[in-house]
């Protein structure tokens, strides 16, 4: 039989084209938006996530990160995420709340009180939150704890009534927290985070509930130089991908991608914890006064907040989701009963 080399060359080229097309069709660029600057622990961890995703997929997935809010604020990022103009995003609890309102129950003031309690609560409720995110069209790549919200003030704040006597700043982007603190009878002054220093300097505000890392980074402790030791609420973040993009990723890659995301989650939590401790220690060296409350003084805050429970979780427009608040409260009651 006569061999037709032209046919062989043609078939070989065709097979190469088909094979190459199937490989390149799997290549995917993921645009990931983050409000956090690149030179922070969060930003560096997101860069590591991008590198890890490329590594475990042998370059089939490339993650392009838009750091520092260059893709817009959280509302804009969510809109881009839903329209698939970006495919993934780092969101705070405020952004996560826009997708799944139950998330905000974690921010109920003075409900979750320490790291051990937060670990237990997240262990129990994360699967449900992940399922609710998925029903809304998103896949949760990672949840991350970003420290604790503290009270910073011009004058010492030891008891709730000390805080009620002063003007307390709250971000206008966090309407639920404004509603919550007004329900608790605090004098709220809506103040953008970027305007906090000016507001303190002009005496428009006297106190803030905010992350120590933000206070240190923006030199707010020069005026609000008193920190109350009690934890107001955990500061949560998450990394989400829209489900449209997740479905495009070959199933064989997904376990490795999720494991890489979980490693970054643990990395972020460790980095933030160290950063928060370092920030507080630095501020103390430059004049910050920490008011360590006794267990009895802490209990005054807990009892005071509990007086407003029905108004915070009930009614036509409750501030927090009643179902999730109740679940978290029950988890904590059982956990505390074990003497943890």
Q: Supply the CATH number for residue 134's domain.
A: 3.40.190.170
- Which pair of structure tokens corresponds to residue 42? 């969060």
292 within domain boundaries: yes
What dihedral do alpha carbons 302, 304, 306, 311 form, nearest 10°? -140
* Distance, first Cα to last Cα, the chain: 83
The alpha carbon dihedral of 63, 64, 70, 72 has a sign of negative
Sequential pLDDT tens for the chain (340 residues): 444 544 444 444 444 444 433 443 468 899 999 887 787 777 888 899 899 999 989 999 999 999 888 888 888 888 999 999 999 998 887 788 888 888 889 999 999 999 999 999 999 999 999 999 999 999 999 888 888 999 999 999 999 999 999 999 998 878 888 999 999 999 999 998 889 999 999 999 999 999 898 899 889 999 999 999 999 999 888 899 999 999 999 999 999 999 988 888 888 888 888 888 999 999 999 999 999 999 999 999 999 999 999 999 987 778 888 999 999 999 999 999 987 5
274 within domain boundaries: yes
What dihedral do alpha carbons 197, 224, 178, 295 form, nearest 10°? 160
95 within domain boundaries: yes
The three-state secondary structure class of 96 is helix
The three-state secondary structure class of 166 is coil
- Which pair of structure tokens corresponds to residue 103? 């998330």
In 158-242, at which residue ranges do the beta strands (DSSP E only) sit? Answer: 167-170, 187-190, 207-210, 226-242
304 within domain boundaries: yes
The residue to which tokens 């004049």 are assigned: 287
Q: Report the domain count for the chain.
A: 1
113 within domain boundaries: yes
5 within domain boundaries: no
160 within domain boundaries: yes
137 within domain boundaries: yes
Which residues constitute the domain of residue 145? 26-337
């Amino acid at each position: 039989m006569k061999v037709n080399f032209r046919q062989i060359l043609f078939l070989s080229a065709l097979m190469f084209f088909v094979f190459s097309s199937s490989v390149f069709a799997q290549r995917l660029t993921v645009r990931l938006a983050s409000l956090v600057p690149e030179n922070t622990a969060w930003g560096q961890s997101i860069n590591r996530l991008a590198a890890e995703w490329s590594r475990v997929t042998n370059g089939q997935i490339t993650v392009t990160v838009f750091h520092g809010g260059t893709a817009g604020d959280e509302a804009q990022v969510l809109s881009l995420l839903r329209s698939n103009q970006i495919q993934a995003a780092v969101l705070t609890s405020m952004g996560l709340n826009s997708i799944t309102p139950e998330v905000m129950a974690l921010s109920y003031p003075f409900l979750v009180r320490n790291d051990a309690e937060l670990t237990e609560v997240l262990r129990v409720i994360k699967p449900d939150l992940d399922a609710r995110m998925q029903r809304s069209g998103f896949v949760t790549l990672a949840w991350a704890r970003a420290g604790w919200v503290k009270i910073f003030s011009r004058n010492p704040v030891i008891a709730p009534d000390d805080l009620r006597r002063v003007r307390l700043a709250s971000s206008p982007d966090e309407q639920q927290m404004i509603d919550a603190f007004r329900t608790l009878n605090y004098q709220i002054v809506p103040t953008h985070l970027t305007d906090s220093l000016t507001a303190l300097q002009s005496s428009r505000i006297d106190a803030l509930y905010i992350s120590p890392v933000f206070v240190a980074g923006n030199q707010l402790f020069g005026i609000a130089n008193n920190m109350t030791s009690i934890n107001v609420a955990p500061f949560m973040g998450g990394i989400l991908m829209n489900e449209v993009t997740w479905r495009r990723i070959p199933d064989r890659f997904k376990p490795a991608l999720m494991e890489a995301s979980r490693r970054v989650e643990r990395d972020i939590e460790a980095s933030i914890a160290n950063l928060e401790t370092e920030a507080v220690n630095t501020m103390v060296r430059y004049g910050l006064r920490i008011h360590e409350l006794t267990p009895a003084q802490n209990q005054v805050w807990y009892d005071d907040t509990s007086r407003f429970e029905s108004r915070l979780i009930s009614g036509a427009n409750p501030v927090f989701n009643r179902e999730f608040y109740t679940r978290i409260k029950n988890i904590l009651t059982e956990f505390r009963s074990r003497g943890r």
